[in-house]
Amino acid sequence: MSGCSNQSVLTVEIYALPTVTFSMTNPVVCIEQSGIQLSTKVSASKQPSTSQRAKVFSGTGVVDQTPLDYVFQPRTAG
C-alpha cells in the first residue's frame, strides 16, 4: 500500500451454508403446555465453533438457555 506506514493481515474463513431442517412430532401447541425443548442438528462440511454461530431460534416465547439449547414457552408467546 502506497503511503501507509502500518499494515495488518487478517485471515478470514468462510463456511458453507448448512442444511437446516425443522420438524415437530406434534405440530399442535396449547398455551397451557409446558416448555418445548428446541434442538438443532446442523449439517455442514466444516462448522464454526459454538461461539461463532448465529442464534438458531429466536422470537417471542423462545428462551436461549445455553448456546444451541433453546426452549419455546407457549404461555410467553401468547
Tell me the whole-structure pTM to 2 decimals: 0.56
* Under 8 Å between Cβ of 71 and 38: yes
Q: What is the pLDDT of residues 62-77, one digit of tens each?
A: 888 776 678 889 999 8
Which pLDDT score, from 0 to 100, does residue 15 have?
Answer: 77
State how far the alpha carbon of 73 is from the alpha carbons of 4, 22, 26, 41, 64, in Å.
Answer: 55, 17, 15, 21, 11
Residue 68 burial (CB count, 10 A): 15
Cell of 41: 442438528
Which pLDDT score, from 0 to 100, does residue 48 have?
Answer: 57
pLDDT at 44 > cutoff 70: no
Q: Find residue 70's DSSP bridge partners.
A: 38, 64
Q: If DSSP codes are grouped into helix, strand and coil, which group holds residue 75?
A: helix
Q: What average pLDDT does range 14-27 have in this prediction?
A: 76
